[in-house]
Amino acid sequence: MKKFSGGIWVLVAIVCILSATAVRTMAATPMPSFSLVRVGDGRLVHSESYEGKVLLINFFATWCPACSKEIPGLNSLQKKYEKDDFSVVGLSVDRKGQDIVEKFMKRKGVVYPVLMVDRKTVAAFGGVYGIPVSFLVNKSGYVVKKYNGYVSEKSLEKDVKRLLGS
């Protein structure tokens, strides 16, 4: 019996590890609407301003190593596809304010818009229980995929290209 229960714990650990970096195709659900402050200029940005675009909504924090690791790939996608109605939108979960996030963005060379997220928006996206977590939104405004954990540029690009029809 002890061997069996030990095996169960190994199986549970494997499932947890695999799900931590899982890519989940979702039944398309409308992207939650939001009005959030943009880091850098303090402008209020409304989700409606992204209508008709493919979006990659990326929840992150300045203290998260996996989040930092994703930034070069997210920058690359933004530069490569912004003319094709695509945008990465970073949503910072940092609680210490915009100044820290702005310094982080400058240090990392972030080229896409970053907004300060609020609890209401986090809840509207179904809660964020680990970071990074990203949501891929099609041109019709529906969330079609959720990525938990670090995702490579190559994986993201494949999905973005599919939604852009290229």
* CATH code where residue 34 lies: 3.40.30.10
Residue 160, token pair as written in the block: 């973005």
Is there a domain that residue 16 lies in? no
Q: pLDDT digit string (tens) for 17-26?
A: 444 444 445 5
Is there a domain that residue 44 lies in? yes
Q: Which residues pair with 57 in a beta bridge?
A: 89, 135
Record the pTM: 0.82
Residues 6+ positions from 146 with CB-CB distance below 8 Å = 23, 24, 26, 133, 134, 135, 136
- pLDDT value for 44: 95
Is there a domain that residue 80 lies in? yes
From residue 7, alpha-carbon distances to 12, 14, 20, 128 in Å are 9, 11, 20, 30
Is there a domain that residue 34 lies in? yes
Is there a domain that residue 53 lies in? yes
Domain count along the chain: 1
Is there a domain that residue 6 lies in? no
Instruction: Please report, as a single letter, which amino acid is at residue 134.
Output: S
Helix (H) or strand (E) holding 84: none
- pLDDT value for 127: 84
Instruction: Please report, as a single letter, which amino acid is at residue 128.
Output: V
What is the extent of the structural domain holding 93?
23-164
For 133, which DSSP code? Answer: E
Is there a domain that residue 135 lies in? yes
